[in-house]
Amino acid sequence: MVLNNYCKEDKVLLAVDCIIFGFYQEELKILLVQRDFEPAKGEWSLIGGFLKKEEDLDAAATRILNHLTGLNNIYMDQVHSYSKLNRDPEERTISVSYFALIDVAHHCKDLLKQNPIKWFDLKDCPELIFDHNDMVKDALKLLQNKISNKPIGFELLPEKFTMRQLQKMYEAILDTELDKRNFINKFNSFDLLKKTNEKDMSSSKKGAFLFEVDEDKYQKKIEEGCSFKI
Selection from 7-11, 110-114, 155-159, 204-208 with the highest mean pLDDT = 155-159
Residue pLDDT, tens place only, 95-105: 999 999 998 88
Cα–Cα dist 18/172, whole Å: 20
- pLDDT over threshold 80, residue 36: yes
What domains can you pick out in the chain, each with its CATH number?
Answer: 13-147 (3.90.79.10), 153-223 (1.10.10.10)
Say how far apart CA 122 and CA 110 lie, in whole Å: 21
Q: Has residue 92 got a pLDDT over 90?
A: yes
* pLDDT value at 57 more than 80: yes
User: CB count, 10 Å around CB of 135?
Assistant: 24
Question: Could you tell me the pLDDT band of residue 225, with boundaries at 50, 70 and 90?
Answer: confident
Comparing CA positions, the residue from 132, 101, 107, 102 lying closest to residue 32 is 132
> Mean of the pLDDT values across residues 108-124?
76
Position 226 confidence tier, pLDDT thresholds 50, 70, 90: confident
Query: Quick check: 125 pLDDT over 60?
Result: yes
| pLDDT value of residue 114 | 52
CA distances from 196 to 172, 185, 199 (A): 25, 18, 8
CB 75 within 8 A of CB 21: no
Q: What is the pLDDT of residue 206?
A: 83
Model confidence over 128-179: pLDDT tens digits? 999 999 999 999 999 999 998 888 899 999 999 999 999 999 999 999 999 9
Q: For every residue of 185-218, which 3-state class applies, written as one string? A: HHHHHHCCEEEEEEEECCCCCCCEEEEEECHHHH
Q: Are 95 and 82 in contact (CB under 8 A)?
A: yes
For residues 54-60, average pLDDT: 97
How far is the C-alpha of 184 from the C-alpha of 180, rounded, in Å? 6
Maximum distance among all Cα pairs of the chain, rounded to whole angstroms: 79
pLDDT in tens, 185-217: 999 999 999 999 999 988 777 889 999 999 999
